[in-house]
Structure 1
Amino acid sequence: MTAPAPDDDALRGTVADRIRASDSKIIKVTPREVAAAKVRVTADRTMGYPTPEWIVRLANAE
């Protein structure tokens, strides 16, 4: 599960780093990271490439 957070300096490192370091199944993400994940899903679909599940879940964050 992901939870959007405001863009701020409190979110350090990449999403992948925060996933690896998380003790729970919830991490904070920025609106910019969600938007980038949506672009990646669209690009992968257009080119016929598989998208990693964690990116799909990030793209669907509310």
Structure 2
Amino acid sequence: MIVTGGSLLILIIVTLFAGYALSRFPFPGNKVLLVGLFFLLAMLYMPWLFQFIILWI
């Protein structure tokens, strides 16, 4: 998949919206779900970035 600025913007907006929605509901583990959702979206949109993050960690 060709990574464009639009897809990156969509990724950021969806991640921020999901983080806001999760923060509104005080159930345990919402940070873990947010990180998992971000990694899932990063894996779908930008596999090369996901591989770079894994190598960097």
Q: Report the TM range for the smaller structure's normalisation.
A: 0.3 to 0.5
Query: More helix by proportion, 1 or 2?
Result: 2
Larger radius of gyration: 2
Return the TM-score normalized by structure 2: 0.43
Query: More strand by proportion, 1 or 2?
Result: 1
